[in-house]
Amino acid sequence: MFSSDKVFMAMPSRIIFGSGERVAMPPLLKKLGYRNALVVTDKFFTGPTSTIISDLVAGLARAGIASIVFDGGLPDPSVSLCVSARQWALDHASAESFDHVIAVGGGSNIDLAKVISVTLKYGGHPEDYIGEGRLPGKPLPLVAIPTTSGAGSELTPGAILVSDRAATKVALMDNDLRPDIVVIDPDLTLSCPPKVTADAGIDALTHAIESYLTCDSEYFDRGGNPDPGYSGRNHITKLMAGEAIRLCFAHLSPAYEIGSDLEARTGMAYGSLLAAFSYASAGLNAVHALAYALANLTHATHGSTNAVFLPYVMDALRHVRSADIAAIGRLAGLTGADEADLARRAVAHTRDLVHAVGIPTTLRQFGVQEYDLAALVENGLGVTRLTKAFPIQPAANAYRTIVQNAFDGTLGD
């Protein structure tokens, strides 16, 4: 892989990581000259059970930074939510008043903040920017403070929205959407309930495994873009993905079972960060493509729709990525000298983890009917930016097998 790698990577300029280290962020913002923040979050964090936002606002004030808090974030933000959030901000201050945006919460809040950072600066409608490389320039500077370990939006060039017109997911893709400052404090994940921990954690594992197995950078179709958001796997991304896989297998179950276990939470925070580093460059493929299709059908959570497809996509790739999937098995703690057998057990072990954290392992458990399968395949194939990176091309027959096996709960011998 070394001599054929074609590496292109874009990363945040600053990352703060560590238990309690979120307090280092306001002084940094002050040093960088920021004075007026729009904080984007949701009502959980402004409610009576959380002090995260009140502590943040107080810390900003001590640093001489004024802030206004928008707490209307929702899971899977829609285009219309982005429009109304921008209007809310303009109703409370002029667009010129804000010199940066701070996102607090899961990936949905971060994606919402990404879009707001664009439309506050450049105006227009979010749909004006859907697609790759359609931003006119740098948005308002963005600070991302994730409160879950999984989504990875704090490192990615994308913002995923639900289209109000078609009830499907659409994406803004541009390297300028990557947050400028990322603050990862494992303490913020201690209050995550088990279901959120499981969903986010499996999402992180999916990012790591998909980017570990995706199309090589040598063959990745960049579409002639000199500044691509994604560019296929390479030695750097595989190193990061491999460590993320090890960390997620080691720490997800303990974090799920004992939410107050800071060591497990920190392990998952590192795993999520490294997985995001990997997939934010290498990209993703079939798991996410099919998960989007399933979410559109069932409105199930993003992590769970990834989780149900992950083992079956790995299974479909066993014959073209055998050594890599066997390596995943070793990273998960499995042993054995027979590569094919180890790859097979790695797939089963992954499905066992999905089950262990309370996520369904078949499409039937999501209420999917057999007559839905053809549409799932078609809609998954329609996410071309992901499908084109799947190592098996053309992908249609493989997608059909994956969906049928996920429906039946069947793994290959």
Looking at 188, 203, 218, the residue that finishes a domain is: 188
pLDDT, one tens digit per residue, over 287-301 is: 999 999 999 999 999
Give the β-pairing of 158-162 and 169-173: antiparallel
Q: Could you say which DSSP state residue 390 is in?
A: S
Picking from 293, 123, 275, the residue whose alpha carbon sits closest to that of residue 203 is 275
Residues 38 and 89 in one domain: yes
pLDDT digits (tens, 9 = 90+) for 5-61: 999 988 888 999 999 999 999 999 999 999 999 999 999 999 999 999 999 999 999
- Please say if the pLDDT value at position 157 is more than 90: yes
| DSSP code per residue over 3-49 | TT--------SEEEESTTGGGGHHHHHHHHT--EEEEE--HHHHSTT
Residues 103 and 207 in one domain: no
Both 356 and 404 in a single domain?
yes
Q: Which two tokens stand for residue 204?
A: 């992180």
Residues 315-361: tens digit of each pLDDT = 999 999 999 999 999 999 999 999 999 999 999 999 999 999 999 99
pLDDT of 190 over the 90 cut: yes
Domain of residue 254 covers 194-408
Residues 60 and 78 in one domain: yes
Instruction: Give the model confidence (pLDDT) of 215-237 as tens digits.
Output: 999 999 998 999 999 999 999 99
Mean pLDDT over 128-144 rounds to: 96
Phi, psi at residue 146, to the nearest 5°? -70, 145
Percent of the chain topping pLDDT 70: 100
Q: Which amino acid is at 5?
A: D
pLDDT category, 167, cuts 50, 70, 90? low
Q: Clarify whether residues 136 and 257 are in a common domain.
A: no
* Single-letter amino acid, residue 312: Y
Q: CB of 358 within 8 A of CB of 312?
A: no
> Mean pLDDT over residues 245-274, rounded?
98
Q: Has residue 138 been placed in a domain? A: yes
Show the DSSP H helices in 123-219 as ranges. Answer: 194-213
108 and 251 share a domain? no
Burial class (CB in 10 A: 0-12, 13-18, 19+), 390: buried
In-domain check, residue 1? no
Is residue 402 over pLDDT 90? yes
- The residue type found at 210 is E
Distance CA 322, CA 341 (A): 10
Q: CA dihedral in degrees (349, 353, 354, 355; nearest 10)?
A: 100
Rg (CA), the chain: 20
32 Cβ neighbours under 8 A, 6+ residues apart:
none
- 1, pLDDT greater than 60: no
SS3 content of the chain, % helix, strand, coil (to 5): 55, 10, 35
3-state secondary structure of 159: strand
Residue 304 has pLDDT above 80, yes or no: yes
pLDDT-above-90 percentage for the chain = 94
220 & 325 share domain? yes
Q: Are residues 219 and 143 in the same domain?
A: no
Asked whether residue 389 falls in the same domain as residue 283, the answer is yes
Burial class (CB in 10 A: 0-12, 13-18, 19+), 347: buried
Angstrom distance (rounded) from CA 314 to CA 402 = 9
Residue 370 has pLDDT above 60, yes or no: yes
Is residue 116 within 8 Å of residue 154, measured between CB atoms? no
C-alpha–C-alpha distance, residues 319 and 305, integer Å: 24
pLDDT band for position 3 (cuts 50, 70, 90): confident
Q: Are 212 and 238 in contact, with CB atoms under 8 Å apart?
A: yes
**pLDDT tops 80 at residue 171:** yes
Q: What is the CATH number of the domain that holds 153?
A: 3.40.50.1970
- pLDDT value of residue 286: 98
Q: Are residues 166 and 288 in the same domain?
A: no
**What is the pLDDT of the chain when averaged over all its residues?**
96
Is 129 domain-assigned? yes
At residue 65 the predicted structure's pLDDT band, cuts being 50, 70 and 90, is very high
Residue from 127, 31, 136 nearest 79 by CA: 127
8 Å CB contact between 79 and 45: no
Claim to verify: residue 238 and residue 155 sit in the same structural domain? no
- The answer on 139 and 204 residing in a single domain is no
- The verdict on residue 6 lying in a domain is no
In this prediction, residue 363 carries a pLDDT of: 99
Is residue 62 scored above 60 in pLDDT?
yes
5 is a domain residue: no
List the CATH number of the domain containing 294: 1.20.1090.10
Q: Is the pLDDT of residue 401 over 60?
A: yes
Edge-to-edge order in the sheet of strand 36-40: 14-17, 181-184, 142-146, 100-105, 36-40, 66-70
- Residue 13: the pLDDT is 86
Residues 58 and 55: their CA atoms lie apart, in Å, by 5
Q: How many domains does the chain have?
A: 2
Kindly report the CA angle at 303 between 299 and 308, in degrees rounded to 5? 85
Q: Looking at the domain assignment, is residue 4 inside a domain?
A: no
Confidence of residue 168 (pLDDT cuts 50, 70, 90): confident
- Judge whether 42 lies within some domain: yes
